[in-house]
Amino acid sequence: MVKLGQQFGLHPLAVENIMDDATSQDMMEQIDGYALVMYRTTTDMTTETAFSIVVGSEWILSFHTSAAQMHIDRVQKHSTELHGSSFVVYALIYEITDWLTMTTTQIKHDVVQIDNIVMTQVPEEHTG
């Protein structure tokens, strides 16, 4: 990763942030002619995963866990429709956010169901 960072002229702190995605925060920074986008999402109800996308004027680097590959695959499927590196980044963030919205909607639905079950099982002496 360090050699890749050197080849693309990435700042050492940017490389460090990418490599340490477990403690990194969501962010977007302009650094010496490229943008670093770090973004967290879920791949299912329990697994959080991090993306790091570095966008240069003529290139894009994407770093992610294998669990996040599904997002990359969906964007690549539509790659013939994409124009320019900025649009690719937008498409990735849109895909990730859309997935996160679906996941949180499902969690909300599950919480309401659990709440309904709990409330129907509360003894009358505790409801009033």
**DSSP, residue by residue, 37-74:** EEEEEESSSS-EEEEEEEE-SS-EEEEE-GGGHHHHHH
pLDDT tens digit sequence for 2-55: 898 899 999 898 888 888 866 667 777 888 888 888 877 766 666 777 778 888
Structure tokens at 72: 């990359």
More confident residue, 35 or 104: 35
Q: Grade residue 126 by pLDDT with cuts at 50, 70 and 90.
A: low
8-state DSSP, 30: E
The angle formed by the CA atoms of residues 32, 30 and 79, to the nearest 5 degrees, is 105
> What local confidence, expressed as pLDDT, does residue 84 receive?
66
Distance of CA 11 to the CA centre of its chain: 22
Average confidence (pLDDT) over 94-108? 73
The percentage of the chain sitting over the pLDDT mark of 70, rounded to a whole number, equals 65
Average confidence (pLDDT) over 87-111? 74
Does 82 have pLDDT greater than 60?
no
Q: Say how many CA atoms lie within 13 Å of 32 toward its Cβ.
A: 8
Structure tokens at 105: 């909607």
Does 121 have pLDDT greater than 80?
no
Average confidence (pLDDT) over 86-108? 72
Average confidence (pLDDT) over 105-127? 77
pTM beyond 0.85, yes or no: no
Q: Is 88:82 a contact under the CB 8 Å cutoff?
A: yes
Q: Is 43:68 a contact under the CB 8 Å cutoff?
A: yes
The percentage of the chain sitting over the pLDDT mark of 90, rounded to a whole number, equals 2
